[in-house]
Amino acid sequence: MGRKNASRTKNRNYRRKMRVYNTRSRLFNGNVYYPGEFIAVWVILLAFIVGVWIMCMNMGLHKRDYVRTNLVYEGSYRKEDRIVLTLSGKEYKAWASVCDLEGLYKLKEGESLSVITAKDELVCIRYDNTELLSQEDAERHDAEDKRPVSIFCGIFAALWLIYVAVSVYVMCNAQRFPRLIKWFVKPSYLTRPPRR
pLDDT confidence of residue 70? 92
Residue 90, sorted as left (phi over 0), alpha (psi -120 to 50) or beta, turns out to be: beta
For 121-125, the CB contacts below 8 A with 24+ separation are 121/61, 121/92, 121/93, 121/94, 122/85, 122/92, 122/93, 122/94, 123/61, 123/66, 125/85, 125/94, 125/99
**What confidence score (pLDDT) does residue 196 get?**
58
Q: Which domains does the chain have, with CATH numbers?
A: 30-59+139-196 (no CATH), 63-133 (2.40.50.140)
CA-CA distance, 36 to 188, in Å (whole number)?
Answer: 15
Let me know how long the chain is: 196
Q: What is the pLDDT of residue 91?
A: 93
C-alpha span between 35 and 162 (Å, rounded): 18
**Whole-number pLDDT of residue 186:** 86
Q: What is the distance between the alpha carbons of residues 40 and 49, in angstroms, rounded to a whole number? A: 14
pLDDT tens digits in sequence order for the chain, 196 residues long: 556 666 777 776 666 665 555 555 677 877 888 888 889 999 999 999 999 988 888 887 777 888 899 999 999 898 888 899 999 999 999 988 888 888 888 888 999 999 998 888 888 999 888 889 888 988 888 888 888 888 998 899 999 999 999 999 998 888 888 888 888 888 888 887 666 5
pLDDT of residue 142: 86
